[in-house]
Amino acid sequence: MTDKIFRSIFITAIAVLAATLAVITTFLYDYFTDIQAYQLKDELSIASVGTEQSGELYLDKLRYDNFRLTWVSEDGTVLFDSQADKAAMDNHLDREEIAEAFETGKGSSSRYSATLTEKTLYEAVLLSDGTVLRISVNRASGFRLLLGMVYPIIIIVMIAVIISAVFANKMSKRIIDPLNKLDLDNPTENDAYEEIAPLLRRIHRQNMKIERKAAELNRRKDEFDLITKNMREGLILLDKNKTILTVNPSAISIFGADKNCVGNEFLTIDRKNDLRSAIEKALSDGHSEIRSKRSEREYQFDISRIETDGETVGAVILAFDITEQADAERIRREFTANVSHELKTPLQTITGSAELIKNGLVKQEDMPRFVGHIREEAARLVTLVEDIIRLSQLDEQTELPKENVSLYETANEACGVLRDSADKKDINISVSGDSGNVYGVKHLLFEVIYNLCDNSIKYTPDGGKVDVDISETQKEVTVTVSDNGIGIASEHHARIFERFYRVDKSHSKKSGGTGLGLSIVKHSVQYHGGKISIQSEENKGTAVTVVLPKSK
C-alpha cells in the first residue's frame, strides 16, 4: 500500500510539474512573440528614419541577423531586400501589410513565407517619398530563444523529480504510519484519520459479528467435543480420502490408536480388511454395517456416507460395543437349549417310568422304587420351573415388597436349614460379624446366602468348613461365604454365574442342582443394586463376596 500511495503522490507531483512547465512555456512563447513584435516596430521606426535620409545606402549598412528589411516602391517593385535578390522577387503591391501601409500609413500581418518557408511577422510603414519600408522576423527566432532555456528547464525538472520522489516517499510513509498503527481489534478507539472513521466503525461492527459467530462456533464445538468425549460409542469422521478428521476417546480406546492420529489415514489405526471394505462400501452405496472384534471385544460398526450438495465429502463411523449383547444372545441360546434339555430329561424319566408301570412291566416289589423316581423327577421339575420363574421376575425387575433385613439373622436362618446337610459331611458351618442391616426383599436375600452356603457344602470334602462373615461400613454391607473345598479353576470364573453353567457336569447331576442357583444369586444381588465377585483356586477353596447398599 505504501508503494501505491508513493506512486500516486509522485505521479501527481510530476503531473503538476509538467502542467506548470507547459503553462510557463506557453506564457514565455507568447511573451517572446510580443517582445518580437515590439522590437519589430522599434527597428522599423529606426530604419525608416535612416532610409528617408540616406536611402539604399543606409539599408546596405544595416546588418540584422534576425530581421529582414524590404523596401518597396509605389508600384510594388522591390527596391531592396536584406536577405534575397530583389530582381528575383515578385511584385509586393498585393502584400497585406504593404497594401495597408499605402492605404493607412502603417501595416502589419503574419503569414507563411514561401520564400523563407517559415511563418513570419511583418510590419510596414509609409515613407515620406511614397515608398514603403517593411521589416519582418520569423517566429522560429522566438522559438530558438525559447529553446535556449531547455537545458535550465531540464535541470529544474530533474531536481524537481528528485525532490518529488523524496517528498512522495516521506508523505506516503507519513500517511501509512498511522494506518499501520491502527488497532483493528478495537477500531473505535483509534484516532488516526477522521475520514476513515466510518470504515473503522464498520470494521468494529464486523468484528462484533465475527466474534459472535466465533463464540457460537466455539460453543457448538465445545458441545460436540463434550458429547463425543463422553460417548460410550466410538466416533470417527473421515474425509473422502479416508483421512481422519475427528476421533473421540472411545474410538481411540477401541482401536488402541494414538490420540494425535487426526490428520492421518484411517489405515494407520486399523489394518483389518473387513472394516476398510465396509468404509469403501459406505462411500459408494451410502451405508454399511459389520460386526467385528477388536481387543477381545465385539463391536458393531455403523458407517454412513456424508454428502454436501450431492457430493460425497466423507464418512462417519459409529462403533457400538455389543460384547454384552452378543454374550447375552449366546447365553439366551444356551439357556433355551439347556431349558429344553433340563425339562426333557425329568419328563422322559417320568414318562418312561409311567409307561413301564402302565404296561405291567414293573414287578410289585420294584413299584416303590419307580414311584420314587417319578416323585424325585417331578420335584426336580417343579424346582427347575420355580427357578426359571424366579429368574424371569428378576430379569423383568418385578417390583417386590422390601423391608429392613438383618443379614446376620438371615445367614443364621440359612445355615440352620443347611445344618443337617453339613453335619452329614462333618462340615463346620459358622456365621460371624456385624448385624448388616439392608433394605431389601427378605426371601431373595435368604436365597443368596442359602445358595452360596449350599454350594460350599456340596463342593467341600468331608471334615471341611464353611464360614459366613458379615461386615459393614457407613454405606454398605459385605457378606463373604468362604470354604476350603475343591475350588474352581480360573477359566471358569467369568462364566460361573451364567444360567445352567456347570464346572463339573457329572458332579452337578449327582448333587441334584438345576444349574440356576448361582445365576439366581447374581440376579438377586443386582436387583438390590449390589455387586458380587469370586475368588477361588483349585484344591484350596472358594470365597464369594457380596456387597449390598445399607438399609434406609
The domains spanning 2-147 and 333-395 adopt the same CATH topology: no
pLDDT of residue 339 exceeding 70, the answer is: no
What's the pLDDT at 195?
A: 65
What's the pLDDT at 118?
A: 66
What's the pLDDT at 192?
A: 62
pLDDT of residue 128 exceeding 70, the answer is: yes
Grid coordinates of 517: 442357583
Question: Residue holding cell 477361588?
Answer: 536
* Mean of pLDDT over the chain: 81
Higher-confidence residue of 135 and 340: namely 135
What's the pLDDT at 359?
A: 82
Q: Given CATH 3.40.50.300, say whether it is the number of domain 231-321.
A: no
What's the pLDDT at 469?
A: 95
Q: What residues does each domain of the chain span?
A: 2-147, 231-321, 333-395, 403-549
pLDDT of residue 397 exceeding 80, the answer is: no
pLDDT of residue 77 exceeding 50, the answer is: yes
What's the pLDDT at 140?
A: 55
Q: Is residue 56 very low, low, confident or very high in pLDDT (cuts 50, 70, 90)?
A: confident
What's the pLDDT at 507?
A: 45
Give me the percent of the chain exceeding a pLDDT of 90. 16
What's the pLDDT at 508?
A: 47
Helix (H/G/I), strand (E/B), else coil: 32: helix
Helix (H/G/I), strand (E/B), else coil: 335: helix
CATH architecture for segment(s) 403-549: 2-Layer Sandwich (3.30)
97-101, 397-401, 489-493 — most confident range: 97-101
Fold classified for 2-147: Beta-Lactamase (3.30.450)
Instruction: Cite the DSSP H helix spans in 286-425.
Output: 323-358, 367-395, 407-417, 419-424
Higher-confidence residue of 263 and 7: namely 263
Q: According to the 3-state scheme, what is the secondary structure of 172-211?
A: HHHHHHHHHCCCCCCHHHCCCCHHHHHHHHHHHHHHHHHH
Domain at 333-395: CATH code = 1.10.287.130
pLDDT digits (tens, 9 = 90+) for 163-219: 877 777 777 777 777 666 666 667 666 666 666 677 777 877 888 888 888 888 888
Query: What contacts 275, CB < 8 A, 6 or more positions away?
Result: 290, 292, 301
